[in-house]
Chain A
């Protein structure tokens, strides 16, 4: 079982995010620790830079039983949660990069989803323009969350149903050492996992949606299933998508190849950074323990 600490946010979080942030680990049995609920209450008490941290145990990198080792292991896990931008992800992209990658281009006015209206800057000649300042904030949060999940050895699943970018996403996933699913989504992959795969399979800890719609312009089944199984999701929502069930929506263009390549690059860099940082910390711990 793995627990997630609450990552400090400057603004008040949406109620959706609160529920999903403080989750216990996912196994096919779907247990939820009682400590989760106390964590949620702690978080909702005040919108300040809180890092309400849970004690985690179980499947992590180290498995030592001696007291100083567990203290060091806890430090490795908890220290990044005290910083707002521990992995310095704000240097990965700027507003100008987003603009040049055409992330601000949405669909036409007729395709607009009502719930996306807060994220739109406006519309020009019937084309919706997405507010890049909001996008930048949301993207920063999403990348931060992804980095923390990758740091703690979580399984990340890249999902998209766009045939144009399927190969790109699979390649990106393979290069970061994570998993991808850009094919036909069978019914019970998450909800009926012990039968679809084998009993005792470990489900993904985070699902990244590079496009939240499937080939018939309906919401991808994975979003609903992840919500059912308490798996946090990060999704690139275009102006015709529904952002409500997604934990960390990132309003942005999901149709242009430039934009998709940029997202893939950003997520790959975050995950690699987080994993390298973890290896570094483990090495330092090893060195300090032996000293």
Chain B
């Protein structure tokens, strides 16, 4: 690329101070200035190729600066609100921002927010090689070092367990009835959670491969040796029944235990008091329930939680929780009595008879 014509062109371009930013010319003194036509340089040369740039990368200094600014801003905010800067927590920050910048936007993520930079900027991998250019990780050149090193470690553990099995067999102590890892109530981590753990993107195929490898590890008799490693990749499912708030048992002056609970269905609201060792009478708004619910179907709905083998059934079930034992709470939950029915009446739309019913359709 050392044509003299090119050199002439370059010098002219430098003289006119023109658009070719990629040229770094230093030879203009020796070459005579030729009357050369201006070369048109396409704008695609200096425009940033946004597609090829990839996700925006932040340097470590930038992130550190942001963290500093956040800390300083937090103190300013605390002073503004008249609170102690030392004990200003994230909840206080959220509260203050909501107070100072009230926003009526429905989308919660669009509202003004002030959080620690680690939560806002995505986690990025730092420079992965030392001063001489040698990468730190031995699988760096595969392109996905964390994922492949995880597979490598799991396979290593499988081999270790096989060696242990062989040793036991040699000694004659091999048994299949070894301590099994408890896997009930937990699930494998999802692909997104694994990506977060590895700070790398993996495909569905890779995820399936990883799970297959873990299952292979679990299928071996002596897998309990690696229990804590396996449990790192399992997530405990929360016991659903613990989510319900059980209303506290209260006692009236006569010593009779009672509990109060609310329930809602469509537009009806109910608030009930359930008393212990009562006569079995049900009064609604002062009137006997036979007057309010002449239909057997409605009365069955009312009595359903009490028999086990919309706003009243839920309230009774909730109130009942404080009287019954834990196992029965689970049975009530599984019978579907504690799930609030979220269905409401759908609005009627213009151009239609009702919410879904359309006017008669005529072909012509």
Chain A, residues 189-205, CB within 8 Å of chain B (1/0): the string is: 10000011110011010
Which of A14-22, A136-144, A180-188, A277-285 is near enough to bind chain B?
A180-188
Determine if A202 and B133 form an interchain contact, defined as CB atoms under 8 angstroms apart: yes
Determine if B152 and A181 form an interchain contact, defined as CB atoms under 8 angstroms apart: no
Given A167-B159, A170-B152: A183 touches B129 (CB 8 Å cut-off): no
Determine if A204 and B133 form an interchain contact, defined as CB atoms under 8 angstroms apart: no
Given A167-B155, A167-B156, A170-B152: A202 touches B134 (CB 8 Å cut-off): yes
Which residues from 145 to 169 on chain B have a C-beta closer than 8 Å to any C-beta of chain A? 148, 152, 155-156, 159
Complex Cα–Cα for A68 and B158 (A): 54
Determine if A173 and B133 form an interchain contact, defined as CB atoms under 8 angstroms apart: no
Q: Which of B128, B139, B159 contacts A170 (CB 8 A)?
A: B139
Determine if A179 and B140 form an interchain contact, defined as CB atoms under 8 angstroms apart: yes
Counting chain A residues whose Cβ lies within 8 A of the other chain, the interface size class is: 20 to 34
Q: Chain A residues near B135 (CB, 8 Å)?
A: 155, 179, 201-202
Complex Cα–Cα for A170 and B52 (A): 32
Q: Chain A residues near B127 (CB, 8 Å)?
A: 198
Complex Cα–Cα for A177 and B135 (A): 10
Q: Chain A residues near B155 (CB, 8 Å)?
A: 167
Q: Does B308 contact A (CB under 8 A)?
A: no
Which of A173, A174, A196: most chain B CB closer than 10 A? A174
Q: Chain B's nearest CB lies how many Å from the CB of A280?
A: 19
Q: Chain A's nearest CB lies how many Å from the CB of B202?
A: 13
Complex Cα–Cα for A183 and B144 (A): 10
Q: Which of B52, B138, B143 contacts A173 (CB 8 A)?
A: B138
Q: Does A85 contact B (CB under 8 A)?
A: no
Given A189-B141, A202-B129: A183 touches B134 (CB 8 Å cut-off): no
Complex Cα–Cα for A195 and B134 (A): 18
Q: Does B4 contact A (CB under 8 A)?
A: no
Which residues from 118 to 139 on chain B have a C-beta closer than 8 Å to any C-beta of chain A? 127-129, 132-135, 138-139
Complex Cα–Cα for A178 and B152 (A): 16
Sample 27 A-B pairs with CB under 8 A, ordered by A number: A59-B133, A153-B134, A155-B135, A167-B155, A167-B156, A167-B159, A170-B138, A170-B152, A177-B138, A178-B138, A179-B138, A179-B139, A179-B140, A180-B138, A181-B139, A181-B142, A186-B143, A189-B143, A196-B143, A197-B143, A198-B128, A201-B133, A201-B135, A202-B129, A202-B132, A202-B134, A202-B135
A residues apposed to B, CB below 8 Å: 59, 153, 155, 157, 167, 170, 173-174, 177-181, 183, 186, 189, 195-198, 201-202, 204
B residues apposed to A, CB below 8 Å: 52, 127-129, 132-135, 138-144, 148, 152, 155-156, 159
